[in-house]
Amino acid sequence: DIELTQSPLSLSVTPGESASISCRSSQSLVHANGYSYLDWYMQKPGQSPQVLIYLASNRAAGISDRFSGSGSGTSFTLKISRVEAEDVGIYYCMQGLHTPVTFGPGTTVDIK
Amino acid sequence: QVQQVQTGAEVMKPGSSVKVSCRTSGVTFSGYSVNWFRQAPGQGPEWMGGIIPFLETTQYAQKFQGRVTIAADKSTHTAHMDLVNVTSEDTATYYCARGARDCSLSLCYFYYFGQWGQGTRVTVSS
């Protein structure tokens, strides 16, 4: 199975500042079509996961432009600009190129 | 409004089978994928498998092969997940999620899980 590692595993951010989460894959996530099959999800306690970014850099419908994704191949980054209190939660990267679909261990974001 | 509505919580005996259903409303059912995940307490999500109703194609995680069956009823816009021979390690919250799919040759890729069900708590206890 494809292993995804995230760093840091926890992050405490001052409101209004930016935060970045790194995700690295044990194998390339680039398909022959040129797309990297890497998504980012956020989960709040007691809630279902919510997609933020798909195919590495595409913002999902209804997601604030404060969230952006970048990267390709085996190295990816999620950036949260102007962090707000509502951004508290666990952030997961997920790959969909190789079966089974796998998730990173998650990064817990809280507010200082 | 797009919704994925799952059936309610289940308490199962070890060795029994559990079936969780997920009804899609507000959007086309067949053209997307419906995927099943589970999440044990304090753990991240784990993909179990997915189905593309239009293609009647399923893919499963090797870990669950032989124990899980995913099916879709296009007439009722409902997907079902059956897990047999459950043990205490199957205690988790089970989610369905509608997602995108790209297929080439005999392989399909599942991603962009945009709509998730509310989750179904499954407890396995003697």
List pLDDT tens digits, range A29-38. 999 999 999 9
**CB-CB neighbors (< 8 A) of A102 in chain B:** 47
Say how far apart CA B49 and CA B60 lie, in whole Å.
Answer: 4
Mutate to test the interface with A, among B2, B62, B101, B110 (most CBs of A within 10 A): B110
Q: d(Cα A25, Cα B109) in Å, to the nearest integer?
A: 17
DSSP A60: P
d(CA B38, CA A90): 16
Which residues share a beta bridge with B108?
B103
| Sign of the CA dihedral with A37 first, then B65, A106, and A24 last | negative
DSSP structure string for A20-35: EEEEEESS--B-TTS-
Among B47, B95, B112, the residue with its CB nearest the CB of A54 is B112
Neighbours of B89 (CB within 10 A): 9
Under the banding of pLDDT at 50, 70 and 90, the label for residue B59 is very high
Dist CA A91 CA A99 (whole Å): 21
User: Which residue is closest to A56 within chain B, CA to CA?
Assistant: B112
Size of the A and B interface in Cβ pairs below 8 Å: 66
Indicate the DSSP class of residue A101.
P
Contact at CB, A105 and B95, closer than 8 angstroms: no
Residue in this structure with the two tokens 């261990």, named with its chain if needed: A105
- Note the pLDDT of residue B54: 87
Per-residue confidence band for B105, with pLDDT thresholds at 50, 70 and 90: confident
Q: How far is A18 from chain B (nearest CA, A)?
A: 24
Shortest CA distance to A106 belongs to which of A15, A45, A18, A30? A45
Q: Is the pLDDT of residue B26 over 90?
A: no
pLDDT digits (tens, 9 = 90+) for A63-103: 999 999 999 999 999 999 999 999 999 999 999 999 999 99
- Band (pLDDT 50/70/90 cuts) for residue B56 is confident
Residues 6+ apart with CB under 8 A from B16: B85, B86
Give the Cβ contact number of residue B43 at 10 Å.
Answer: 12
Between the CA atoms of B9, B15, B16 and B17, what dihedral angle is there, to the nearest 10 degrees? 80
CB contact under 8 A, B109 and A54: no
Q: For residues B7 and A67, give the distance between their C-alpha atoms in angstroms, rounded to a whole number.
A: 33
Calpha distance A38→A91 (Å, rounded): 13
